[in-house]
């Protein structure tokens, strides 16, 4: 259940970022195309998701994304 919840959150993050970028091309989040690509992979290749990759994204990339979003909200 936790795995599916985490995957769903990545889907939401990727979809939100995709919509924002369609409205504002100057919106700047590092690795935004990779985030959207992960969302697409989770949605369209759900039978081929590698848990270690998701775990790596959580530990290596999510903290930086969180900081970037916090900076945007603070400005």
Residues 7-60 have pLDDT tens digits of 999 999 999 999 999 999 888 899 999 999 999 999 999 889 999 999 999 999
Query: pTM to 2 decimals?
Result: 0.88
Structure tokens at 58: 């959580």
Alpha-carbon distance 39 to 45, whole Å? 10
Q: What pLDDT, on the 0 to 100 scale, is given for residue 58? A: 95
Alpha-carbon distance 41 to 21, whole Å? 19
Q: What's the whole-number mean pLDDT along residues 54-67?
A: 95
Q: What pLDDT, on the 0 to 100 scale, is given for residue 28? A: 87
């Amino acid at each position: 259940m936790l795995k599916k919840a985490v995957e769903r959150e990545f889907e939401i993050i990727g979809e939100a970022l995709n919509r924002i970028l369609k409205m504002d091309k100057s919106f700047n989040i590092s690795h935004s195309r990779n985030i959207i690509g992960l969302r697409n992979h989770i949605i369209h290749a759900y039978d081929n998701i590698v848990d270690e990759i998701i775990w790596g994204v959580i530990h290596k990339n999510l903290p930086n994304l969180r900081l970037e979003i916090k900076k945007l909200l603070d400005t």
